[in-house]
Structure 1
């Protein structure tokens, strides 16, 4: 006979599993909120762009991340995860000259980390269900483009010895990344809507 405590433990695991599934199905809702919060923290971090940094900003011309295009077959979660991981790594290096608000920096880093963990959980759940990603070749190409984009940022920071102006320029550039994240999150919302419609059709049948 199953003991009462063991039964309670099994029910907790089952309930947690259902909650995780529901959370992943509504991942776009969480991402919209967290993208907005991270963008606001990024804006508050340093205030207005320093006038003395304008000349250096003109010299910095990376590829525009907003021009990257994902085919309809690519998985938006994977691209979002890569962007967030790159951002997290960038903002965990040599910030001593940035002259930003320390609390805002920490909150920004923590927010990115939470988003990454949530995405990893959902992607792991999909892998366990043997969900395959169509268009893997396109996804690989996009991944390489993202790596080149962020490598340009890393190279610039290193070349400028992580100066205050270099960080301010990068802060402006990173704001564009959140516009890209919003576009990808919209893809998640559309995918969730399509999945819900398909489930409704199957139920009707």
Structure 2
């Protein structure tokens, strides 16, 4: 009787380990989207949309391609650890960008404070996942460096900030899509593992 009990205990431990490592339990990831589930509060993308102060079409001559590393993030070989690391790096860089005095001078302070609070919470959640360096972060850092240089060159004018706001929304959406795609793939793996037991 001891052998089957030990075997069952080992199966339980292995199942928990694989499910826990796959899921990393990031329920707050929706903070990036339209609203949070617990309190029905607005998420980061909705707040960024509300922060718009001038129509983007009035800033067409300010447009710039910041070369978001989309190809690297959409490949089939991207793993969950990479997605979490990239999302962690993006969140950190967005915090760096939007927590400056120049940003507070450009945006509605209440919306910006709420936006930054959500990003700090997301960063904590991502840290809890043990996001480690996986090599893609450098491309994200270079991307944000180009954005910072652009803002300096444009002297932090309202149209420059508007172009950056729009760019951040686009890159954040792409990153969230990557994370959600990987999360659904992992859900399929967990379901397949449960079905085989």
Query: TM-score of the superposition, structure 2-length normalised?
Result: 0.71
Cross-structure match for 2:183:
188
Cross-structure match for 1:105:
112
Which one of 146, 157, 179 corresponds to residue 163 of structure 1? Answer: 157
Q: Which has the higher contact order (CA 8 A, sep 6+)?
A: 1
Which one of 54, 68, 71 corresponds to residue 64 of structure 1? Answer: 68
Give distance in 2, aligned partners of 1:117 and 1:62: 27
Shift in Å at residue 123 of structure 1? 1.2
Aligned pairs for 1:35-184 within 5 A:
35-36=32-33, 37-57=43-63, 60-69=64-73, 70=75, 71-73=77-79, 75=81, 76-93=83-100, 94-98=102-106, 100-123=107-130, 139-140=134-135, 142-184=136-178
Shift in Å at residue 191 of structure 1? 2.2
Give distance in 2, aligned partners of 1:146 and 1:50: 24
CA offsets 1:53-85 (integer angstroms, 9 cap, x no match):
22122xx22113433335234612111111111
Shift in Å at residue 159 of structure 1? 1.4
Tell whether 2:25 aligns with 1:26.
Answer: yes
Query: Does the CA-based 8 Å contact 2:48-2:165 persist in structure 1?
Result: yes
Query: TM-score of the superposition, structure 1-length normalised?
Result: 0.69
Give distance in 2, aligned partners of 1:190 and 1:119: 19
* Runs of 5+ unmatched residues, structure 2: 1-19, 34-42
CA offsets 1:35-61 (integer angstroms, 9 cap, x no match):
11100000001245255422122xx22
